[in-house]
């Protein structure tokens, strides 16, 4: 008996035990840490870099910092990403995802703009 059938039996006493779930199954389960962070100062970023180097996927929101701080944080995390072979993906205007090399990121082609994300 699987989890779905157990739930049916728990909530509906008239469900028989011989019913079998024929839907999709999770073939290979894995564990991935995704940290979502919003730095307020540059000193916060060292912890983020340590997590990235430890294998966690990192999503960084730049909403709480000004343009100069955004540039410093971006440069620092991109340097760490380069060293460990991580990928950097733009999720939205102020949100970036840093994924270690063991994490596959499938992204659609993004329309390129004339301006850089940093406004440089």
SS3 state at 52 = helix
Q: Concatenated DSSP letters for 70-104?
A: HHHHHHHHHHHHHHHT-EEEEEETTEEEEE-TTS-
The pTM of this model reads: 0.62
Average per-residue pLDDT for the chain: 75
The yes-or-no verdict on residue 120 having pLDDT over 70 is no
**pLDDT band at 27, cuts 50/70/90?**
very low
């Amino acid at each position: 008996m699987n989890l779905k059938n157990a739930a049916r039996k728990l909530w509906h006493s008239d469900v028989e035990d011989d019913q079998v779930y024929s839907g999709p199954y999770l073939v290979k389960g894995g564990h991935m840490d995704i940290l979502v962070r919003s730095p307020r100062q540059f000193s916060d970023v060292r912890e983020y870099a340590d997590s990235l180097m430890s294998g966690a996927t990192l999503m960084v929101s730049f909403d709480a910092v000004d343009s100069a701080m955004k540039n410093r944080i971006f440069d620092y995390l991109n340097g760490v990403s380069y060293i460990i072979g991580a990928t950097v993906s733009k999720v939205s205007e102020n949100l970036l995802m840093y994924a270690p090399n063991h994490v596959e990121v499938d992204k659609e082609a993004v329309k390129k703009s004339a301006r850089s994300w940093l406004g440089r």
